[in-house]
Amino acid sequence: MRTKALLATAATLGITLAACGSSSSSSSSSGSGTSTPALPAAPAQITVGTTYSGSGAYATSSIPELDGLKFWVQQENSKGGVFVGAYKKRIPVKLIAYNDLSSATTAATQYNQLITQDKVNIFVADFGSVLTAPAVSLAEAHKVVLFDQTGTGIPFFTPQNKYIILCDLPVSSIWPDVLAKFLIAKQIKNIAVVYGTNDFDASQATTLKSDLAAAGIKLTYYQGVPTSTTSYGTILQTISAQKPDALIEFGYAANDTPFLQNVQSSGMHFKMVFTVFPGQLLGLFQQQVGNAGLQYTYTYGTNFYVNYPTVTEGLNSAAFATKFANAFPGQLNSLSLDGYNTGLVVQASLKNAKSLSQADIRAGAMAASGNMTTLDGKFVLNSEGAQTGELLPVAQLFPSSAGITVKAVYPASQATGTAVYPAPGA
């Protein structure tokens, strides 16, 4: 696949070919002689630019996320386009997506092209913190708002950066707060943690360690490994010798898969095993790890497993599941929900924005904060653009007639099942 091939063409999405950059304000004189801002003519289309990983380590997460965004484009264009509040009408959407091949270096080049050459109205990052990182610095340098889908690394969000909006997940530093409370509630004190040394995983490990330390719990094993790690045999032998009551691994899907495979092939049994991505990509993990290797392990319970019948923006949970499955058969998962939700955040931002200037688009997103509920939960941003809503419960994977069923087990207010601890056979 060519690095800069467009994934979605105007023909497949049923929209026009002309590119359109961000609009700027002009002025006109009123009858009183004072100068007042006036909107330029409405653009022929709203351009949304992003990159995706068509192959490589992040493809299994990036492709469904992009499918979700494509689905949003299709939904809005079927109505005549996305509603732009400044012009009080719908304007067709054109999606530009370049294949970054899971390379942050390639993504950086393509992000720059989207901003400087394509001059997109809406700038969207690829999946995860590794591929989002180059977009953050470019967006800030060019003063273009970055709609950050799932890049939750803490360094992205600072008081100085006014050009980022985290759309679909809470900032990663608060993900483990509920997990820590679960471990404390279960009085689990002998805990081993292994994590990838990247912003996404390291911030989770740091938070968990801090939360547990505040409760008087010291980790018996705490080790960072390169994000490229795919063999955990030696690490597991070291950990097993300490007989931990819980084993926590913070990694990407490409780490979680070999980690769970290594646990299973080693014949080691732990009372509790937690990994990050099975709750987001269950079907993939069933294929690669197998149901036996997933049974009774723990993960984050994403909002894909929560039913939101009443929403203020977009489709509710049931309608999305049905319509998305019809448009993209076999692709429905947590990441496709995230991509669609990104579109809903863009939609709300454009509806609230007073113009298509980047400052007004960001103000539109901030206006939606605290006032919007989607199928991904309550949309809440802090002043730095970090998501503090959409919190993730602890979930456990149970054997079922379907092979595996994911159920939230903590906190009680969100629980759809009861935790089994210790795991059978441990």
Res. 37 pLDDT band, cuts 50 70 90: low
Res. 235 pLDDT band, cuts 50 70 90: very high
Please tell me the predicted confidence (pLDDT) of residue 5: 39
**Any domain includes 3:** no
Distances (CA, A) of 293 to 106, 249, 296: 35, 15, 9
CATH number at residue 25: 3.40.50.2300
What gap in Å lies between CA 27 and CA 13, rounded to an integer?
Answer: 35
Could you tell me if 189 and 328 lie in one domain? no
Q: What pLDDT digit, counting tens, does each position of 237-283 carry? A: 999 999 999 999 999 999 999 999 999 999 999 999 999 999 988 98
Res. 330 pLDDT band, cuts 50 70 90: confident
In DSSP terms, 6 is beta-bridged to 98
* Contact (CB, 8 A) for 114 and 309: no
* Contact (CB, 8 A) for 289 and 344: no
In DSSP terms, 117 is beta-bridged to none
Q: What pLDDT digit, counting tens, does each position of 156-172 carry? A: 999 999 999 999 999 88
Could you tell me if 36 and 103 lie in one domain? yes
Q: What pLDDT digit, counting tens, does each position of 348-405 carry? A: 999 999 999 999 999 999 999 999 999 999 999 999 999 998 888 899 999 999 899 9
Could you tell me if 161 and 310 lie in one domain? yes
* Contact (CB, 8 A) for 298 and 396: yes
**Any domain includes 1:** no
Could you tell me if 156 and 183 lie in one domain? no
pLDDT at 305 > cutoff 50: yes
Q: What pLDDT digit, counting tens, does each position of 80-132 carry? A: 999 999 999 999 999 999 999 999 999 999 999 999 999 999 999 999 989 99
**Any domain includes 423:** no
Longest dimension (CA), the chain: 83
Could you tell me if 18 and 127 lie in one domain? yes
Domain carrying residue 112: 10-172+306-379
Mean predicted lDDT score pLDDT of the chain: 90
pLDDT at 182 > cutoff 60: yes
Could you tell me if 406 and 368 lie in one domain? no
Could you tell me if 157 and 250 lie in one domain? no
What gap in Å lies between CA 231 and CA 226, rounded to an integer?
Answer: 11
**Any domain includes 421:** no
Please tell me the predicted confidence (pLDDT) of residue 154: 82
**Any domain includes 2:** no
**Any domain includes 359:** yes
Could you tell me if 14 and 145 lie in one domain? yes
Could you tell me if 20 and 43 lie in one domain? yes
Could you tell me if 132 and 159 lie in one domain? yes
Distances (CA, A) of 53 to 102, 126, 296, 335, 343: 5, 8, 31, 13, 18
pLDDT at 32 > cutoff 80: no
**Any domain includes 5:** no
Q: Please tell me the total count of domains within the chain.
A: 2
Please tell me the predicted confidence (pLDDT) of residue 413: 80
Could you tell me if 280 and 325 lie in one domain? no
Which residue would you say has higher pLDDT here, 57 or 354? 354
Could you tell me if 197 and 273 lie in one domain? yes
Determine if the pTM surpasses 0.85. no
Res. 2 pLDDT band, cuts 50 70 90: very low
**Any domain includes 409:** yes
pLDDT at 10 > cutoff 50: no
